[in-house]
Chain A
Amino acid sequence: MAANDLEDMQRRVQLLEDERDIGDVFSRYSHTIDYGRQEEWADCFTEDGVFDVFTVDGRKVHKEHGRGELFRYLGGKKLPPQRYDKHVLAAPLIDVKGSTAKAQSYFIMFSSVAGSAPFIGVYGRYKDTLVKEGGRWYLKERLAEVERTPAR
């Protein structure tokens, strides 16, 4: 194999690995938020990462800036066994450019509160900016646009 061919293949494999690794960040985000693993959840973001949640008509729900605020935000949430949530991310469209990436995806949150039957809590869209630092991908900013909230 010529050196040029090898470099081309390495680039293609790197791109597939980057997309896979970003998918892993999304999965770890869901597991850690849903089981209240504060430190691991905050660690899905960069040190100065932003989590900005707002409704589709532009009303602020909450916004955290930096791992310290993210850690405290999750510490204030109801968690298992009082409440079970499942943050499901679907239809990710990921565009990697070197050490930065943009992603757009759907989120659907399934919930059960105080032993209730399961229901769909909220759903909407994530718009993410990610960066690769030290070989690892992090969320630099997650915009969570909430389109529907429960009637209950």
Chain B
Amino acid sequence: MASQQELAALQGRIQALEDERDILRTFYTYSHTIDYGKTREWSECFTTDGVFNVFMVDGTPVHRENNRTELKAYLASKLTPPEVYDKHILAAPVIKITGDKATAESFFIAIGDAGDGPLVFTFGRYTDTLMKEKGKWLIKERKAETETRTPGFTRTRKGVKPA
């Protein structure tokens, strides 16, 4: 018979695998919801007081949202399908979990079309802190350090002040 200790150790290992899988699921949900303009679902990838802080690699601020209401307003100001089709790709995630908190570092690459065929319009690095709330992993803060972007490429709707 397996001892309680052996079972507890196994449960802990399975929990760690599930936590990492669930964090990746949050990241993929983030991409699908931002790219298809699902404002509420996208904002719910974050905690209620979640922060999305986008800046250039030299430190110049691009935009910053401080809670779900601001996140929804931000995405609502952007062009989404069927006007434009973009793909936010997250790669090389390095995830560290401590109980109900986690940090993650990953790459982002965004692909779109400005009218002349598909192109890579930006890439950089995400540095995230996450929290597990009611069994769900949510982004507490996402720092998006933008290393390059195609000049003049914008997704801001006409009449909206660019971020």
Contacts and interface: CB of A to CB of B under 8 A. Distances in A.
Interface residues of B, number: 28
Contacts of A119: 120
Interface string A1-30: 111011001100100110010001011101
Residue among B1, B6, B121, B147 with max Cβ neighbours from chain A (10 Å): B147
Interface stretch (B7-15, B37-45, B68-76, B130-138): B7-15
B31 to A, nearest CB: 14
Interface of B: 1-2, 6-7, 10, 13-14, 17, 20, 57, 89, 91-94, 105-107, 109, 120-123, 147-151
B82 to A, nearest CB: 25
Nearest to A120: B120
A10 B123 contact: no
A104 interface: no
Given A16-B17, A112-B148, 15 more contacts: A1-B1, A3-B2, A5-B2, A20-B17, A20-B20, A26-B92, A30-B92, A34-B107, A81-B57, A86-B123, A110-B123, A112-B147, A117-B148, A117-B151, A120-B120
